């Protein structure tokens, strides 16, 4: 496992996308955070840029985060996928995990703490494998 250096945030809501990006940048010095609102733009970025983690909502401007999760699991198996959404029903969670998500969190989690903790954990265990 390597330290997280690049994170792609994919969310249709510009406020949520910007908020998650700012939170991740401020919590993890040196982490590059890139953001988009579209499934195809996300896949294009992943095919050209080394990326360690994708944080996606279920609802995107084109496509959805479940399809994106499945495509990442199939085409880029080394990338950690976090579904970070308001749609936190058990059905969505089960479907996201079935399609290859590593984590599933509600945006209502206080301050996105769980999301920040995943990156800290990944970076702390880097190099121990």
Domain ranges of the chain: 6-124
pLDDT of res. 14? 94
Question: Residue 113: which of 101, 122, 105 has the closest Cα?
Answer: 105
Question: Residue 20: which of 54, 47, 43 has the closest Cα?
Answer: 54
This prediction has a pTM of 0.89
pLDDT digits (tens, 9 = 90+) for 9-65: 999 999 999 988 988 888 877 889 999 999 999 999 999 999 999 999 999 988 999
Token pair in block for residue 4: 């997280």
Banded model confidence at residue 123, pLDDT cuts 50, 70, 90: low
Instruction: Report the C-alpha gap between 13 and 59 in whole angstroms.
Output: 9
Q: What are the residues facing 62 on neighbouring strands?
A: 38
- Using the predicted structure, report yes or no on whether residue 109 has a pLDDT greater than 70: no
Read off the pLDDT of each residue in 95-117 and give the average, rounded to a whole number.
83
Return the axis-axis angle of helices 113-125 and 14-27, rounded to nearest 10°.
40
User: Where is pLDDT greater, at 111 or 26?
Assistant: 26
Comparing 21-25, 75-79, 86-90, 111-115, the range with the smallest average pLDDT is 111-115
Q: What share of the chain is helix, strand, coil (3-state, %, to 5)?
A: 45, 20, 30
- Using the predicted structure, report yes or no on whether residue 93 has a pLDDT greater than 70: yes
Instruction: Report the C-alpha gap between 116 and 29 in whole angstroms.
Output: 12
Token pair in block for residue 95: 């479907």
Q: What are the residues facing 81 on neighbouring strands?
A: 54
What φ, ψ does residue 50 adopt, rounded to 5°?
A: -65, 125
pLDDT of res. 46? 98
Banded model confidence at residue 127, pLDDT cuts 50, 70, 90: very low
- Class of the CATH domain delimited by 6-124: alpha beta
Instruction: Report the C-alpha gap between 46 and 50 in whole angstroms.
Output: 7
């Amino acid at each position: 496992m390597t330290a997280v250096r690049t994170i792609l945030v994919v969310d249709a809501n510009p406020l949520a996308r910007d908020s998650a990006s700012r939170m991740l940048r401020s919590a993890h010095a040196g982490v590059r955070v890139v953001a988009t609102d579209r499934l195809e733009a996300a896949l294009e970025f992943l095919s050209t840029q080394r990326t360690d983690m994708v944080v996606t909502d279920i609802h995107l401007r084109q496509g959805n985060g479940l399809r994106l999760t499945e495509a990442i699991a199939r085409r880029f198996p080394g990338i950690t996928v976090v579904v970070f959404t308001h749609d936190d029903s058990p059905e969505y969670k089960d479907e996201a995990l079935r399609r290859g998500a590593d984590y599933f969190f509600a945006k209502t989690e206080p301050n996105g703490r769980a999301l920040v903790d995943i990156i800290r954990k990944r970076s702390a265990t880097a190099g121990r494998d």
